[in-house]
Amino acid sequence: MKFQLNNLIAFCNEFKDRNEIMKKSQYTEEEALNKSLISAYAIEKHSLLRADIDDMGIEVASFDKEIDEMNLLYDDILFAIG
């Protein structure tokens, strides 16, 4: 879910090949999320913390840690297979 939201936030920016990427991934202009209109929160150590949102999306350290661990595990699997 985090990546989906980050993609929608990132599409509010102008960048090279933006329209082609949006079309290829079947996004419309109406689906882009303006970062100033949204808020996100995370629960860490029994506290509700507001997440930082920049032009690239929502920054939630606990999500990033899990994603990094899953990527490392996948790399180990690929290396072992092949």
Structure tokens at 38: 């949204």
Domain tally, the chain: 1
- Which range of 19-28, 53-62, 71-80 scores highest in mean pLDDT? It is 19-28
Alpha carbons 40 and 60: distance in angstroms, whole number: 9
Question: Letter for the amino acid at 75?
Answer: D
Place of tokens 């949102």: 53
> For position 48, what pLDDT does the model report?
92
Contact status, residue 50 vs residue 39, Cβ threshold 8 Å: yes
Quick: pLDDT tens for 34-71: 999 999 998 888 899 999 999 989 887 766 677 778 88
| Full residue range of the structural domain in which residue 39 is found | 2-81
Output the pTM of the full model.
0.69
